Chains A and B, each alone.
Chain A
């Protein structure tokens, strides 16, 4: 029979098909769905995170592993039957208004998801109003904003202003990132955090919800 360790190893190898197979086998064998997630999928992803930090694994590999884990998770979800899937919280992310840059934001999204958050990815060119609406709808613990252009950077400030005006600022932590973003800028516009790369963003999220 398939084991949780094998499942974790397949996540580490980024073998999407094998992860799907093993997850099915484990479900059919009656293994607790929560255990499949915690001790199989997430356990594998934890190793991936460690190896990525040590420089042994590269971004494309991490993305493959994250994809494998997400596929596995989606197979398990229907079997949870009311059981609460434990996550560190909900994370809403988007690239700010007039900015169409996708890759870095998606990378952060996948890393944060792999770190154990429920992630809602709003896409690119997200207006301040759309961010406000998403907070009302999803009630996230953390909101992430991305910008690659110095010309779109001011929308981060505008979005925070809009969130304040809507009376939602205290309900959510706000983190920002992207090539032109600095810690100083984060402080200046009243964000709660800044991360220079996707790995650091996942760490930052955990820290903000007291999980690290």
Chain B
């Protein structure tokens, strides 16, 4: 029994209204006076026409306040990320919360506890596993298939996921040809180009580099996705103390500048394109310069940046529920739960990386997906809050039971018992004795067993055979 996504969050607000406005003003000052570096000529031309000041020698693009404001206005405040099955549709807006997977990891910790390079088979199996886990609401392509040549990665990664889950599939992309082919495949499955735009069950991630730099190759991909009108995240990952100021407020200013710059470019390429305000703010361990993905400051900043997106009325792609631990253990539990709770309670819309990822996002663990399904369920239950009305206040039943009685077999209990509580799957709640007699298994072991059960039995809704045949003919590189 899962908790479906889309519940309103927003009870946690690390920033005051005044602080939000301070960050906003500081951001506009940076965009106008420092600007961003964009080497891609086409992007420079588009932005120049839109009113940006360009220094062609240094590739510096200065974004005036008016252009930024006009682009925020042009971006949709509600984005539908469809599922191949409607029941998995995500409607991103306001403070609705959805939690899902993230990528792209290079390694897997598999169900035999072997740590090895990820393969295409892992893309398929993880998609199928997540398809069966109700508290993971969407699927971001989790791993890189190390055995494939680069030009075959995009189509195969996407198709492996589309085939094995009816949840929304988002993924990073690597080549222009790949972007085009993936969109074409999705159009064929959707029943045509306009059908796909109406119910986009795929979306793409193209990155911006921190600080404030649009890399040549990624920008080309970003332009292509935007032109095609496919939903897009313009991910950027500033690290406080290394590629962003050491202060959290400073990192938020830079993050906000980068996120808005992505919105500006996409909207100027193709106004109205569904784009997510995209944020991956985190830190380094300042003692050693190790990249961090499970620190509490990351949870704080992702909550705060969600408030910024809400201030602009833009749907947000944020980051939480990851860990720096190397295995499913206590550390992965507390890092994931802490960051996911902070971010989700702030009403963040599309919280990615929120399942499976360990080892700073370099590795995914099959068992961890099952554990994170429980963590996410707990988080969503917290987001839902406490319902108070004349029925839930229970005055009548308290009167009826009276002092010294019990509520076990009251109708009121039966009425609410399935909706008031979240029921986890691999969380041990029995007595010490029962646990011991059942093999004294820790959470990792129980999750491993459940993952094996799911993979042995669960199948997603298949792609119709004729479509599969057509795809195989048109795309010989597809490893179906």
Contact = CB atoms under 8 A, between A and B. Distances in A.
Interface string B146-187: 000000000000000000000000000000000000000000
Interface of A is mostly: helix
B409 interface: yes
Given A196-B431, A196-B433, A60 B413 contact: yes
Interface in A105-147: 107
A60 B433 contact: no
Given A60-B417, A61-B414, A67-B409, 11 more contacts: A58-B418, A59-B408, A60-B409, A60-B413, A64-B409, A102-B406, A103-B406, A103-B408, A182-B433, A183-B433, A196-B434
Interface residues of A, number: 14
B256 to A, nearest CB: 47
B408 A60 contact: yes
Interface of B: 406, 408-410, 413-414, 417-418, 431, 433-434
A27 B430 CA distance: 43
Which 3 pairs, one residue from A and one from B, show the smallest C-beta to C-beta distance?
A63-B409, A60-B413, A103-B406
A10 to B, nearest CB: 15
Contacts, number: 25
Max chain A CB contacts within 10 Å: which of B409, B414, B433? B409
Interface string A61-81: 101100100000000000000
25 contacts: A14-B414, A58-B417, A58-B418, A59-B408, A60-B408, A60-B409, A60-B410, A60-B413, A60-B414, A60-B417, A61-B414, A63-B408, A63-B409, A64-B409, A64-B414, A67-B409, A102-B406, A103-B406, A103-B408, A107-B408, A182-B433, A183-B433, A196-B431, A196-B433, A196-B434
A17 to B, nearest CB: 12
Contacts of A58: 417-418
A193 to B, nearest CB: 14
A14 B408 CA distance: 14
A61 B406 CA distance: 14
Contacts of B433: 182-183, 196
Contacts of B409: 60, 63-64, 67
Nearest to B407: A60
A183 B436 CA distance: 13
A117 B234 CA distance: 67
A178 to B, nearest CB: 11
A180 to B, nearest CB: 11
Contacts of A107: 408
B322 to A, nearest CB: 31
Nearest to B414: A60
Contacts of A64: 409, 414
B144 to A, nearest CB: 38
A63 B413 CA distance: 11
Contacts of B410: 60
Contacts of B408: 59-60, 63, 103, 107
B262 to A, nearest CB: 46
B252 to A, nearest CB: 45
A14 B414 CA distance: 10
